[in-house]
Amino acid sequence: MTGPDLNLLATLDVLLAEGSVVGAAKRLRLSPSAMSRQLARLREATGDPLLVRAGRGLVPTPRAIQLRERVHTLVEDAESVLRPVERLDLSRLVRTFTIRTRDGFVESMGPRLIARVAKEAPGVCVSFVQKPDKESAGLRDGSVDLETGVVVATTSPELRARALFRDRFVGVVRKGHALGRGKVTAKRYAGGRHVSVSRRGMGRGPIDGALESLGLTREVAAIVGGYSAALALARATDLVATVPEKQAGTLHAGMHVFALPFPTPHLTISLLWHPRMDADAGHRWLRGVVFESCRVVE
């Protein structure tokens, strides 16, 4: 079965705008007879007269009135698809970008990012949303523009990724805590009471595995879903928080931070996006802004 001739949409758009076969023929540089044949094809395709005689002129039918704005929008959209990409004018860009990230990123990287955006594209709004899991459906359905995180085996292979910075775990305690005095050994660290960070409420993680390799275990007294909550508890109690140093950089201001006395895996924090946004000029600009804003933490 042959599909409809989509070229007729442009003809219908002009006909409904002009309300005249002669006027539409002039705009499209056709003869009146050729335009009349096009109108006949449109009437057959839509099953409606579209324009009917009223005195000396033509008036649109109710169906034509109903279609007018819809057809015009379709034609404009089609023309924009086939038009060469215009040079991005950041000073006139009005757009909201959504970045999905864990807590700590906004506090540590956000100020530099927002300052750069405000300077280059004052009409842009950056919406930061929480990342409660590793599911990246938002990138695929377009509700999220960018996401930060560690690329793992379960990360969708279709996504693009660019490394932002490397991070490491550090221990954090309140000022005046016993671990703030003297050398922190693996045994002293493990002997404290700890707050663990897990989005799924799990008490064990890579820190516990590293301690077990040394024949040590730690007591987990609390489990929270984010770094800010862990640091808030550590600030107000004798609990020991273990968080990524750079991501949680400003969250532990005024607290005692120490290097872990045993080896732990480093983290590579990456920026992720869907490949369909590769060529989008605004999206490409924002990716560069995020990268430059994070590069200073290296």
Q: Helix (H, G, I), strand (E, B), or coil: what is residue 171?
A: strand
In the chain, the domains with their CATH numbers are 7-82 (1.10.10.10), 91-154+278-295 (3.40.190.10), 169-265 (3.40.190.10)
* pLDDT tens-digit readout, 234-260: 999 999 999 999 888 788 889 999 999
DSSP 87-102: PP-GGG--EEEEEEE-
For 163-211, how does the pLDDT look when each residue is reduced to its tens digit (9 = 90+)?
999 999 999 999 999 999 999 999 999 999 999 998 777 778 889 999 9
Closest alpha carbon to 164 in 108, 126, 205, 124: 108
Taking the mean position of all CA atoms in its chain, how far away is CA 5?
Answer: 37
Query: Rounded to 5 degrees, what are φ and ψ at 126?
Result: -105, 120
Predicted model pTM: 0.67
- The angle at the Cα of 72, spanning 70 to 78, to the nearest 5 degrees, equals 105
Cβ–Cβ under 8 Å, residues 42 and 21: no
Cβ contact 274:158 at 8 Å: yes
Percent of the chain whose predicted confidence (pLDDT) is above 70: 96
Chain-centroid distance, C-alpha 229: 24
Look at residue 85 in the predicted model and tell me its pLDDT. 64
> Residues near 96 by Cβ (< 8 Å), separated by ≥ 6?
124, 125, 126, 127
Q: What is the pLDDT of residues 128-166, one digit of tens each?
A: 998 877 777 888 888 999 999 888 877 788 889 999 999
Instruction: For residue 56, give the nearest of 20, 27, 91 by alpha carbon.
Output: 20
